[in-house]
Amino acid sequence: MANDKPPIPLENTPTVTTSDVTPSSKRLSFVGVDDNTVQGIPAMPGGSNVEGYSIYSNIKDGKVSIEHQIEINVVDLFDVKSNKEISLEEVLDGLRYVMEYRIKGGRFPNLDYDIMRRLADGLLLNMGAYEKKGRFRQKLSEEADVAFQLFGEFLLEVQEFRQAVGEKPVSDLRYALKLDVRCRSGSTEQEQQSAVALIAFLTTIYPQFSDWKELVKNDGQRNVQRCMREHADFVKAEKMPEMPGVILAPQALCFDRRIKRCLKMYRTSLETGLPSEAVPALREHYGRNILPQPPRTSVFMMLWTQFTDFMMLLLMAVAVLMAATEDYIPMAVLLIVVVLNAIIGFTQEYKAGKALDALTKLSVPKAQVLRDGQTSVIDSEELVPGDIVILEEGESVPADLRLAEVSQLEIIESILTGESVAVNKDPKEIRTLTRKLPLGDCKGNAFMSTVVAKGRGKGIVVRTGRLTEMGKISAAITGQGKVLTPVQRKLAMLGKTLVAFAIILCAIMAGILIAYKHPVGESLKIALSLAVSVIPEGLVAVVTVTMAMGVRRMATRKAIVRTLPAVETLGSVTFICSDKTGTLTEGKMGAAELWTSDGSSFGFTESTSLDPNKGDVTLKIDPSETPKVLGKTLHDVPAQMLVSLMVSSLCNNSSVVMESETGSNPTINVEVSDEGKNTEACPSAGEWKGIGDPTEVALVVAAQKAGFPKSYFQNLGYTRIFEQAFDSERKVMSVVYKAPLDGNNVQGDHYEFVLAKGAPEEILNRCVGYLPPIATGALSSPLDILKPSEMDPTMPVTEEFYDIVSEASGRMADNGLRVLGLSYKKVKVNGGGTPDESVGDGFDDINR
């Protein structure tokens, strides 16, 4: 955008230069330089260097890019108070970074006037925030000091910013700058020096502000004058005082930045990663890559809370009254109940805490990281922004990444979005005037705790710990205060009601007895005994024992309950109202139904269980009859079903493995007997894990439950020789396999065939034939239909068949199922022994 007004001529404006800062062993320092080395030290990749804790950068960029970044932060400066997802600290850090490495030193003295005008308004709006300091005094917040510093730096560096400030009424500046507050006794030396320097700039640059007293409240002018005497060196300063701390690239998703820009920002390289010597200083600045944890309760507090429940306090008060009336036996019984109740609650909470701590230590996520040009596996909590992380299929993303390189990368983000369908990733930047894109639109980012379903990639760590999306969710959860459960509220209400009733009853009884001339002491004793009898001493014990039983039952289902009342909370739920189905998704999918071209329909039991030994395949003959469980041998399975299972297994890049306690993934061995029966040697311990896209995992599990996993066909000599991956245009994945003509004779002649799966309409449009019902005994093996023999049982596709398939597909879709089509094709082999050119050509005449 063009400037609306000409810039103010500033012949006497101080020239700002970047001076060297001596590296300190205690903090990071940044030095603007023109060459690529400092004191003979080789530069880091991307134009940065490390000497102890000193890092520098020489980054040049275009005006449009700088204005774009500033405008994003300007928008957030006005939205930060109403939008809780935006942090003022984060916005100001972004502006500090732009100033330090892209503007300062006269690199860009002219920027868009309208952006600078709004930036001045935004900084003035946010530089007067207070934070409480003691009971009687307020102190300007750190964010207010940073905004003040940025105001002075932009005033020196950018002409259009000076022009915008010059148009402000002096009263607005007096109110926003709060120079009197910054110069009063008790202010930091940094605040006083910055205030004196800014006064010097304003009075030098602008004739209308030549009298500094007009910029200060009357009652604060004495303090300002004192500061100007004490810091006389800054009256003629040519730059703002250096702020303590570090100016590093702010943690942000960076979806709007090119990869080269991101690499320079975080001083890293895709080829070598960060140097190891820079990591400790970066970790000290950014913090560890750990999610916010709830405050830990000490053993003493854990025990103390057992006695602070209202009903427990009531029982202890009753015990004291019993002691006063000399009813020692009931008192002892009541105290035993109180102590046992506390022991049960304390023991459960203590054991649950230990179990959760043990699980946390066992499940420390790992990350494959590139440092010093070497790839290594480290704990994910050791990652820092700038690290280069390598993502492989099946791995969990260890931090928020800006993806730099991808190869068919798809990531399951159900833990964040609730959508079980994997998201295809693209590292291309997204130019937008916001830092808050919907997660589903951030194609160039990978988020912590999501899982790689397919492909591989390489990304730059841009956010860690509490600033990641998972960190924000964790902080929101841990920040919730404790809320009493329904039973706790009802017991407290019951206790208060009983106390009130007991007091009234005691007063009435004592009054009646005294009115009838009974001794006062004896009357009070009788009244207290009657009041105590109202309190149900055994109620607390009954409730505690009942909850403990619930905890034990949940423990048998691998659920750890830290506090007893939590059991009752879930038990009070009758309905869960959700705004979308994905909110409660497990990230798992299971095969619900298989319809084949002969009109048969098959179901799968325990389809979402990844254990191949659990569940069967059933033939749905009649809805009113019990489904027939099919056997798991070659001769028990119809030809159409076997071919479908083969496509599900082989036209697939996902897998299901057993994760042992050591983290190893053992191989599942499959042996094929002479009768065609296969047996799997499965480990008996550990947990099954799906690696890859959830839809493909569901197909793999379905084939395994039917008894025909991928390894079964591989043992028959089936070998993949070609793959055409799924894409959004074809909507079909296709693979070419070869198999020996003579059984298991791998060295003999082979034949080839194509397997494909994808959108039903796309598969159907490519089909020229289908498999009709085949008479029993017509084939020696259902797999013979793939061989290039004279016998071809397929029938041509007709309009009637189109309608039948469409009806079956529509019925499944109406039931909320995701529908896929499966198909195969015989491939002719040319003289060179390779498939003809039509194989990689879209498979236009696939047989079904």
In this predicted structure, the answer to whether residue 210 has a pLDDT above a threshold of 60 is yes
Active-site option among 34, 35, 219, 579: 579
pTM, two decimal places: 0.62
The CA distance from 547 to 534, in Å, is: 24
The DSSP result for 629-697, as a single string, is EPPSBGGGS-HHHHHHHHHHHHS---EEEEE-TTS-----EEEE-TTSBEEEE--SSSEEEEES-HHHH
CATH topology match: 276-293+363-478 vs 593-847: no
pLDDT digit string (tens) for 802-834?
889 999 999 998 888 889 999 988 776 544 444
Report the candidate in 207, 237, 183 with the shortest Cα–Cα distance to residue 17. Answer: 237
Q: How far apart are CA 527 and CA 523, in angstroms?
A: 6
Confidence of residue 370 (pLDDT cuts 50, 70, 90): very high
Q: Which residue has the higher pLDDT, 30 or 598?
A: 598
Confidence of residue 399 (pLDDT cuts 50, 70, 90): very high
pLDDT band at 579 (very low <50, low <70, confident <90, very high): low
842, 766 contact by CB (below 8 A): yes
State the pLDDT at residue 123.
Answer: 93
Q: Where are the domains of the chain?
A: 18-58, 63-250, 276-293+363-478, 299-360+482-546, 593-847
What's 356's DSSP letter?
A: H
**What CATH number is given for 593-847 in this structure?**
3.40.1110.10
Kindly state the DSSP code that residue 295 receives in the 8-state scheme.
P
How high is the mean pLDDT of the chain? 77
Is a pLDDT exceeding 50 seen at residue 505? Answer: yes
Q: Scanning the structure block, which residue is given the tokens 């149900």?
A: 536
Q: Give the CATH number of domain 276-293+363-478.
A: 2.70.150.10
Q: Which tokens sit at 207?
A: 């004739």
Q: Is 79 one of the catalytic residues?
A: no
- β-strand pairing of 821-827 with 130-133: unpaired
Across the range 176-199, mean pLDDT stands at: 88
Is the predicted pLDDT of residue 255 greater than 80, yes or no?
yes
pLDDT for position 587: 63
Percent of residues, the chain, with pLDDT higher than 90: 15
pLDDT at 519 over 50: yes
Q: What angle do CA 326, 528, 514 make, to 5 degrees?
A: 110
What separation in angstroms does the CA of 815 have from each of 215, 238, 501, 593, 818? 71, 72, 57, 11, 9
State residue 477's pLDDT score.
72
pLDDT at 776: 61
560-to-104, 356, 365, 566 alpha-carbon distances in Å: 55, 8, 21, 10
DSSP string, 118-177: HHHHHHHHHTT-EEEETTTEEEE-HHHHHHHHHHHHHHHH-HHHHHHHHTS-HHHHHHHH
pLDDT of residue 382: 92
Are 271 and 45 in contact, with CB atoms under 8 Å apart? yes
pLDDT (average), residues 95-99? 90
Q: What pLDDT digit, counting tens, does each position of 405-431 carry?
A: 998 898 988 888 877 788 899 999 887
Give the separation between CA 452 and CA 446, rounded to whole angstroms.
Answer: 9
Least confident of 143-152, 177-186, 433-442, 599-608: 433-442
- Banded pLDDT at 13 (limits 50, 70, 90): very low
Residue 658 phi/psi, 5° resolution? -95, 125
HSE-CB at 848 with a 13 A cutoff on CA atoms is 28
Q: Which of 242-246, 288-292, 671-675 has the lowest mean pLDDT?
A: 671-675
- Strand pairing report for 767-770 and 795-796: antiparallel
Q: How confident is the model at residue 534 (pLDDT cuts 50, 70, 90)?
A: confident
* pLDDT computed for residue 246 by the predictor: 65
Burial 333-367 (b: 16+ CB within 10 A, else e): ebeebbeebbebbbebbeebbeeeeeeeeeeeeeb
Across the range 634-642, mean pLDDT stands at: 82
pLDDT at 248 over 90: no
The answer to whether residues 1 and 112 touch, using CB atoms and an 8 Å cutoff, is yes
**Six-digit token string for 595:** 């319809």
Please check whether residue 784 is in contact with residue 807, taking contact to mean a CB–CB distance below 8 angstroms: no
pLDDT tens-place string over residues 349-359: 777 777 666 65
- 746 falls in which pLDDT band (50, 70, 90)? low
Q: List pLDDT tens digits, range 20-29.
A: 332 332 222 2
Are 44 and 275 in contact by the 8 Å Cβ rule? The answer is yes
Q: Choose from 135-149, 277-291, 581-595, 685-699 the range with maximum mean pLDDT.
A: 277-291
CB distance 847 to 824 below 8 Å = yes
Least confident range of 49-58, 70-79, 203-212, 316-325:
49-58
